[in-house]
């Protein structure tokens, strides 16, 4: 079955399956986790049948939630991005900007350098010419979304109490550059080892210090 026919089938069967049923968050999570793992293992050629089997659901359950395999792929990317930006939107009264940025930096480097995320990046780069729409969806739902949420946080009234920032997007780009560093490229290319806890802690602390010195009001 080609991509167009598979998308049509998913959409048609999904309409029938969805009637009268409430979404089950546990099944949604199982589908997303199965899709993420199989995309990593087999690339975009993985079938929806395989994803349904791995998730422990029938294929129609997948169809009821996602119109196409491309939409399911995009959803796995967005789920990872939501996890990454969680420290920026968590409701923790009294938490300082420094504490928020430190937590975000820790989350960012932890996720960015995990073997699964590195493998995903390698896979996307290798298949970007063949599947340009997937590359675009990954960029928009992952890196660009993360950048946007960070810029929104840095430009928020809460942050302005401690930071003096005229251009939140520029500041967000600078902070991401600080915490990402050159290490990611080395790991991505398979020519650098994963960082140690001491290296990670030093990178995060010095990055947040430099950013606060640049934009902090005190």
User: So what's the pLDDT on residue 116?
Assistant: 80
Which DSSP letter does residue 163 get? B
Taking only Cα atoms into account, the Rg of the chain, rounded to an integer number of angstroms, comes to 20
- Of 32, 67, 102, the residue at which a domain comes to its end is 67
The domain tally of the chain equals 2
User: So what's the pLDDT on residue 20?
Assistant: 46
What whole-number distance in Å separates Cα of residue 217 and Cα of residue 8? 55
Q: Which residue range(s) make up the domain with 62?
A: 3-67
- Of 42, 67, 92, the residue at which a domain comes to its end is 67
pLDDT digits (tens, 9 = 90+) for 116-140: 888 888 888 888 888 888 889 889 9
pLDDT digits (tens, 9 = 90+) for 35-83: 988 987 887 888 999 999 999 998 989 988 888 888 898 898 888 889 8
Residues 87 and 116 in one domain: yes
What whole-number distance in Å separates Cα of residue 127 and Cα of residue 117? 15
pLDDT average, residue stretch 18-23: 51
Q: Exposed, middle or buried: residue 218 (CB in 10 Å: 0-12, 13-18, 19+)?
A: exposed
What whole-number distance in Å separates Cα of residue 69 and Cα of residue 9? 11
Least confident of 102-106, 109-113, 115-119: 115-119
């Amino acid at each position: 079955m080609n991509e167009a026919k598979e998308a049509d089938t998913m959409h048609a069967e999904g309409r029938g399956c969805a009637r009268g049923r409430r979404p089950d968050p546990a099944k949604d999570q199982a589908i997303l986790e199965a899709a993420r793992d199989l995309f990593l293992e087999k690339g975009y050629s993985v079938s929806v049948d395989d994803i349904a089997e791995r998730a422990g659901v029938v294929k129609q359950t997948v169809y009821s939630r996602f119109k196409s395999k491309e939409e399911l792929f995009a959803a796995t990317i967005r789920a990872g991005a939501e996890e990454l930006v969680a420290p920026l939107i968590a409701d923790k009264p009294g938490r300082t900007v420094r504490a928020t940025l430190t937590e975000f930096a820790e989350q960012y480097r932890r996720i960015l350098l995990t073997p699964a995320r590195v493998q995903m990046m390698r896979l996307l780069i290798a298949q970007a010419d063949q599947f340009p729409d997937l590359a675009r969806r990954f960029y928009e739902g992952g890196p660009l979304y993360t950048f946007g949420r960070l810029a929104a946080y840095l430009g928020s009234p809460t942050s302005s109490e401690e930071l003096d920032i005229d251009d939140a997007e520029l500041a967000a780009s600078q902070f991401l550059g600080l915490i990402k560093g050159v290490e990611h490229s080395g790991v991505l290319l398979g020519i650098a080892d994963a960082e140690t806890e001491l290296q990670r802690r030093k990178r995060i602390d010095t990055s947040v210090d430099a950013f606060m010195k640049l934009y902090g009001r005190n």
